[in-house]
A and B are shown apart, each in its own frame.
Chain A
């Protein structure tokens, strides 16, 4: 019957199943099985096949022999033969169970298969999926998870987790003659639905996770199946808390327990239930699936953000503790380029030490640095500067040939001229801050410190600097009260001051990147601020202010995209690109002397605690996570617009996670280009406005809190998308208006933006100098307007609005009055598409909340200067979709619709003498849930469809079948 042929090309959605093999990784994404090659450093997609029709894979099990794979989805089970060398996959058997399959497994040396369903029924199949028998458990309540332990039917133990917080342990072979199988043990301890259970034969532990945010380890003595034969107790060994939301999964390993949660955390515990590592993954979205290999030190997770990530189970680190033997107390320490540590004590003694060869040598004793000293290392880590109470500044240099320290420069200073802070600007210049906020700029030359310039901090309490860096031709200085100053080298006072850039705890670090001209400031208020230096005006301008999950930020390592910070007692390395914690080290907090030296492949962290010098060394590759599939939107994509350029599809998408994302699809790969986070609330709609220059267009995004952002897209630039303007009515006493839809047009040489709002108004903005100004408002009823679009008739512009009352309402833009309406649906209109048939006849297709698909053919007429509407005919279909129709497409021959029932339907239509004739042409069952719409590109013989909702699927539709 189908007149067309659909082919799924690409899918990005929840990764619900994952299996790590020796050199390969199998991922179940929607109905598709993806095969990746994976080793310690790289991974690539080898093969992809559509296993099921419209249902998603929930489990992947390999046969013992490794040449067959068992897959299950909802109530379906399939067996495929698998050859990973030739990448040949062939379906051998399939079966539909009467109930949802929670888990399936090969047993009896690949001869048989067992599956457990949601109502606690075991189905016992042959290897070709012929049902041998069903064993029903006496407890038939709904299960959310189950575990099948042991590999022989006689031994098989079922652990099922109920919605009533219990774990039921039973054995299908216990009494096969009985009508219902007895429950042998019940484990009670959880306080909510059980989400996962794991047990490995040979281990004396069971791990369970639940809705109650906890992970529980249960312990028994001996082998589980033997325990079931006796009265031996299965004890609650430890209840573990660490997740902030529901815990969806767990895996028990020989030395570790891994749990994954709704909060996007992956936690590694030891077998006693102590938290070892907490990893933030999948952009804090949900994590659905996990698989581990202890031998390869690998954890792979699949998330709700469509991503697949691999982590080491244990970060490999060298930890050393050097007891400081001398009587004095170590005060400050720094790391040198050759990994030596330089340390100063409260007695003014300077030591050089090395953690590897374990030697420690007293180099000098400086009386002037007794009880108070500053010790700072230059960025090249070959020079050290010392300062103290008495105005003395000393510079020490590392002799690279023999590894010795040499005194190279000295400034005598005046008695009582205390140095409050000292900053290296580069390897030749230092900046010191003295009494009254006086800043001295020094150059180190021929064993002397030459004073180049003096400037002064504005008057504040605690008047000294806390960070400084060279910034263009000036110096940026951060003070103790969180103000940022910009000095040129001519004046005493700053050229520019940004008050309260950070809070009263001061600015901790400044970093200037000369290629981009961007100054980054870090503070102890969780914030990272970025400023742009205009090289002509020599003025700084605030670009962004980002909030991190830690308060005390320390430094930035640009090459590694890392920000270092302190969180409670931990030193944290945070990847600012993926927004993920890379490493968390307990060190006792930030109030101590510490140094962190990031190198190309390694890094080293040293700190003083209780007179001990602690050294931690590792390689980046031993701690870092790696994306196998890059994550996309965390929640629903509410709106997506596509552009075709150079044979590639560029997708611009905005969603519930408040991000605007740009990605590129070249027919093979889907590559993320940028993630922009400017919206305060969810993005509901996007609109593109093409500019005369073909490589440029405007993008409008809008959504919650009435915010509209104007972006410019320029495909010739490296950063394609740039924010121009944000419109936001900050009147918080009014109710919160959501912008539901946007459209734009050039009318009378002016770009106008029409916004459909949830308060029943259509707001019209005019664009002037890249800014939006409210020009006019069309008031409808107090009904949420869901869609808005424009028609042109003669030289008039007609605004069409669609709201939750199901009416298509027509407005004359010139007068601002509505002149006609058509009742298209009984409730909200969620999607539309239209065609202008000729000057005055339009065909309008709408999809509604009432599951219906409606077409209206109408004519715009003019009666004595007033516009009017005449309907010609209509067509309605409410039998195809069983949930609201959320996206439609219309061209000369075909129309399409997508709905929350996960069907994508296509129809062929014709208009004969004003009558609409429709013929059903085909359906594609997608696995994207919460579909929000489609974007379609038509070529002569095919349609390229981008379907979006909770994920994205690209589908090809061949019309010439």
Chain B
């Protein structure tokens, strides 16, 4: 499959990366906004469940940075082809992004780490708006899908309820509300009830949402709560409890229109597009790394890959690498991954081709628009080797240190375990780190010792690794 496969399958995924959106879902908001003019006159917007921030990014670029984003759901930088310079930005626009997770910053976006089911979050938002109310509340939150459809739908409806709770507390009269929902058996009941506090309510499916997806967006326009409505008591007011609409059919049931937004002649989220399009002569496909990888992933924080157990995953810091216990399976990938992350922390973009033993390092100077990226490129060649089983196979002829049956010259060294017999060979593992160390210095011009492996650390390795075993390739001698 490889890295390109998702690019190949999904046009919006590809376009999002190429245009610098943090996630393909950005197109959904663009398409919804285009249909309903959601951004007209908006200076105060709230994005709930914001991370990784693609919707905040749309709000930021549209409301704060005043970019023109075209109707087809595809972004043009500005009407005159240039992005508005910072002095033209709308400093009055305020966007508040709420999430439990932190996300990387965006211009004009104030981050609020908080729980959308808590009333205090609503109060914090109002404080951040200096007492003003919001013009627009959006929510693209979804639970971590467990695979149990009914449970996911239920949790999603609870999230929606939470978002609505916040919206009712922060929206000005006449404000708008957009939220993701799953189309499923009970969720409609909740939406019907929205009619009582918003003037216009409808379901939308942007064309950037896949055909097979049950997601839809509820767009509630013109907030007008009835007299005496106390938004803090909302959860009692709404609910998906016992009401059952099953008995009603056809015209007896009030029907909320289902609308498709986004231009139908635009891109189709389900279609397979060629990587080289005829109508875009200057367009050339090239793999793009994700725009904003997640800042924090629960299971990566402290859990080792079970494949590599009992290897302890050390934190690789620019100064040194503390311990690197076992040169086990996928060891190389891990080192490279760490290297990559380190480089990225220093604003370098690293591309490693899987088939070519080459590391490509690109320095991407921080820029506001993706067009203005400054790239510095560097190519480094990795020593050739393959990975075999649980060890590393270095494709060189190494004389066997132990006496073995005649004629047999093992053609490889398999790092399975380790003994004192072959300290020479251990150095080969270390060479790898040293090599990467060199690359880092070459690439950055900085004197960072990322991998501090030398003869002294060899002793440490010996202690960490119990027995060394060099299997003879004849397979006969023990």
Q: Point out residues on A near B: beta carbons under 8 Å.
A: 1, 14, 16, 54-56, 74-75, 96, 98, 100, 118, 140-142, 144, 164-165, 191-193, 211-214, 239, 241-244, 246, 248, 262, 286, 288, 304, 331, 372, 374, 420, 462, 466, 480, 506, 524, 551-552, 568, 589, 591-593, 733-738, 757-760, 782-784, 786, 804-805, 826-828, 830, 849-852, 877-880, 882-884, 900-903, 920, 923, 925, 929-930, 950
Contact = CB atoms under 8 A, between A and B. Distances in A.
Contact of A192 (B9, B242, B299): B299
A141 B117 contact: yes
A509 B348 CA distance: 49
A392 B187 CA distance: 82
B401 interface: no
B147 interface: yes
Nearest to B279: A782
A901 B299 CA distance: 33
- Secondary structure class of chain A's binding surface, majority of residues: loop
Contacts of A14: 148
A851 B183 contact: yes
B390 interface: yes
Contact of B148 (A288, A592, A782, A902): A288
B361 to A, nearest CB: 25
B270 interface: yes
The 7 nearest A-B residue pairs measured at CB? A929-B149, A784-B270, A192-B298, A883-B183, A828-B211, A784-B271, A758-B272
A759 B273 contact: yes
Contacts of A849: 205, 211
B471 interface: yes
A1 B249 CA distance: 11
A349 B264 CA distance: 84
Given A826-B258, A830-B211, A142 B155 contact: yes
B402 interface: no
Nearest to B408: A462
B226 interface: no
B105 to A, nearest CB: 23
A462 B211 CA distance: 57
Contact of A804 (B154, B188, B211): B211
A14 B150 CA distance: 12
A946 B99 CA distance: 43
B154 A211 contact: no
Contacts of B258: 826, 850-852, 878
Contact of A74 (B150, B211, B306): B150
A784 B268 contact: yes
Contacts of B445: none
B306 A241 contact: yes
Interface string B219-230: 000000000000
Contacts of B352: none
B253 A879 contact: yes
A570 to B, nearest CB: 11
Interface centre among B9, B246, B306, B390, by most chain A C-beta atoms within 10 angstroms, is B306
Given A98-B241, A759-B273, A827-B260, A55 B187 contact: no
Interface in B248-275: 249-251, 253, 255, 258-260, 264, 268-275
21 contacts: A118-B154, A118-B155, A141-B117, A142-B158, A211-B299, A241-B304, A288-B148, A331-B478, A462-B473, A480-B475, A589-B469, A591-B478, A736-B272, A757-B272, A782-B271, A784-B271, A827-B260, A850-B260, A882-B183, A884-B214, A930-B149
Interface centre among B115, B188, B268, by most chain A C-beta atoms within 10 angstroms, is B268
B80 interface: no
Given A164-B115, A462-B474, A826 B260 contact: yes
A55 to B, nearest CB: 7
A257 B460 CA distance: 35
Given A828-B270, A879-B249, A212 B303 contact: yes
Nearest to B6: A736
Contacts of A141: 115, 117
B272 A759 contact: yes
Contacts of A372: 405, 476-477
Given A286-B147, A882-B187, A591 B471 contact: yes
A244 B303 CA distance: 10
Contacts of B306: 213, 241-244
Given A757-B272, A900-B183, 10 more contacts: A16-B148, A98-B242, A100-B151, A193-B144, A593-B478, A733-B275, A759-B272, A786-B211, A804-B271, A828-B211
Contacts of B9: 735-736, 738
A239 B271 CA distance: 45
A782 B268 contact: yes
Contacts of A211: 144, 298-299
B185 A882 contact: yes
A242 B307 CA distance: 9
B301 interface: yes
Contacts of A55: 150
Contact of B390 (A98, A568, A851): A568
Contacts of A736: 5, 8-9, 272
Interface in B117-153: 117, 144, 146-151
Contacts of B471: 591
A126 B184 CA distance: 33
Interface string B275-319: 100000000000000000000001101111111010000000000
A78 B144 CA distance: 29
A592 B478 contact: yes
A96 B242 contact: yes
Contacts of A950: 149
Contacts of A786: 211, 270
Given A828-B211, A878-B255, A98 B270 contact: no
Given A100-B154, A900-B184, A901-B185, A212 B298 contact: yes
B389 interface: yes
Given A142-B158, A882-B185, A759 B271 contact: yes
A346 to B, nearest CB: 9
B405 to A, nearest CB: 7
B139 to A, nearest CB: 15
A883 B271 CA distance: 21
Contacts of B473: 462
A738 B273 CA distance: 11
Contacts of B270: 758, 784, 786, 804, 828
Interface in B169-214: 183-185, 187-188, 205, 207, 211, 214
Given A591-B469, A737-B272, A827 B249 contact: no
Contacts of B148: 14, 16, 288
Given A591-B469, A591-B471, A882-B183, A551 B158 contact: no
B271 A241 contact: no
